[in-house]
Amino acid sequence: MEKMEKNKKKFNLGIIGAGPAGLSASIYASRYNISHIIIGQLLGGQISETHSLDNYPGIEDISGFEFSQKLGRHAKKYGVQIISQKVRKIKKEEAFFRIILENKEEIITKFILLATGTKRRKLNVKGEEKFLGKGVSYCATCDGFFYKEKNVGVIGGGNSAVVSALYLADICNKVCIIYRGEKLRSEPFWIEKIQKNPKIEIIFENNVKEFLGKEKLEKIILEKPYQGEREINLEGVFVEIGSYPEISYASDLGIISDEEGYIKIQKNGETNVSRVFSAGDITNGSNKFRQVVTAVAEGAIATEGIFEQMEKQK
Ligand SMILES: Cc1cc2nc3c(=O)[nH]c(=O)nc-3n(C[C@H](O)[C@H](O)[C@H](O)COP(=O)(O)OP(=O)(O)OC[C@H]3O[C@@H](n4cnc5c(N)ncnc54)[C@H](O)[C@@H]3O)c2cc1C
């Protein structure tokens, strides 16, 4: 057993998540000389799949992908190893944590930083699974080009739906935003752009009931309360109805979350579990304002908190 443990990678800190929070935490950890590793499936996280980032102070109008690459390069510059794997489980064993990866590799660390962001919410309506990749998508930037000059829909009314619709309007013939509310919940800056775009139509107060087609998506059925159903012909539909935290991989740790499932953190990023910190979209921090600027800030704060605790333990 001891011999097996000797072969395992050991670090002072294991950062789970390679998005803005995890990468920012790594930059600070390197500068504090904390030996650490990042385990994250998607380099750059959610923003890497976003058309444009236009509200990060000091960087004007950059694509989400380019921003992610820059952030990744910055972290790697200090020598951190990034493993592109899914974390299956984290187990707490007296003085350390055992991080078990999808490929069964195990990594041993003294501290943990959970920065795995959120997962896209699904509509959970008939046909959604069947047409996944055949007309239904959760990422306009990734899949929008497959619908060049076609008629597409975007489901949702928040910032991500509105930004996706603007991106798709540059590529597609027509974009229809379908939202169950009576007015968009996006920043006024984006709403103005939507209103000025002749390719974009908005259908309010309608729910999607079903996706229909033979091999590929051909149409969707909408339902308006008290007014019945109607069909719209669309070849592509992008579901942008928000996100939720998913931390089942850390379920053995006994972490306390809020009523919506976001990890409760203290001012220094610490959770209720000793030596487990958290940062970014997955937490209830930053007044629940989930943006790149808050994720990178939380990553930095948590690393500082970890450093302070490491110093005390010396
Ligand atoms: C469409 C869209 C547009 C957006 N536009 C903007 C914008 O214009 N401006 C802005 O500031 N913010 C924007 N955001 C929000 C921004 O993307 C997030 O606030 C930010 O990415 C949060 O960073 P994070 O590091 O906390 O999480 P994420 O970016 O979600 O990164 C999570 C990381 O954890 C990894 N991960 C998840 N689970 C596991 C696991 N089990 N094992 C290993 N790795 C795992 C992921 O692969 C990823 O690397 C947008 C979001 C979306 C969806």
* 111/144 same-domain check: no
Structure tokens at 206: 């309608």
Report the number of distinct structural domains present in the chain.
Answer: 2
For ligand 1, atom 12, the nearest C-alpha belongs to 291
| Crossing angle (nearest 10°) for helices 20-31 and 292-313 | 40
Q: What is the pLDDT of residue 194?
A: 96
Range of the domain at 52: 2-119+243-313
**Burial class of residue 24 (count of CB atoms within 10 Å of its CB; 0-12, 13-18, 19+):** buried
Q: What is the pLDDT of residue 209?
A: 96
How many angstroms is it from 59 CA to the middle of ligand 1? Answer: 18
Q: Where a domain ends, among 239, 259, 278? A: 239
Q: What is the pLDDT of residue 180?
A: 95
Q: Can you tell me which atom of ligand 1 is nearest the CA of 116?
A: 34
Q: What is the pLDDT of residue 71?
A: 97
CA distance 198 to 262: 39
**Burial class of residue 257 (count of CB atoms within 10 Å of its CB; 0-12, 13-18, 19+):** middle
Q: What is the pLDDT of residue 50?
A: 82
Residue 129 lies in a domain: no
Which parts of the chain register pLDDT below 50?
Answer: 1-2
Q: What is the pLDDT of residue 1?
A: 45
CA distance 45 to 124: 24
Q: What is the pLDDT of residue 7?
A: 76
Q: Structure pTM?
A: 0.88
Query: Which tens digits make up the pLDDT trace of 126-160?
Result: 999 999 989 999 989 888 999 999 999 999 999 98
- Return the closest-CA partner of residue 249 out of 139, 31, 102, 89: 89
Q: What is the pLDDT of residue 61?
A: 84
39 three-class SS? strand
* 112/210 same-domain check: no
For ligand 1, atom 26, the nearest C-alpha belongs to 280
For ligand 1, atom 30, the nearest C-alpha belongs to 117
Q: Where a domain ends, among 239, 269, 284? A: 239
Q: What is the pLDDT of residue 246?
A: 93
* pLDDT, mean over the chain: 94
* 309/231 same-domain check: no
How many angstroms is it from 33 CA to the middle of ligand 1? Answer: 26
Residue 102 lies in a domain: yes
Q: Is 101 in the pocket of ligand 1 (CB under 6 A)?
A: no
Query: Which tens digits make up the pLDDT trace of 242-276?
Result: 899 999 999 999 999 999 999 999 999 999 999 99
For ligand 1, atom 2, the nearest C-alpha belongs to 160
Phi, psi of 196 (to 5 degrees): -85, -10
Structure tokens at 188: 């006024």
Q: Is 18 in the pocket of ligand 1 (CB under 6 A)?
A: yes
Q: What is the pLDDT of residue 301?
A: 98
For ligand 1, atom 15, the nearest C-alpha belongs to 291
Residue 124 lies in a domain: no
Q: What is the pLDDT of residue 182?
A: 95
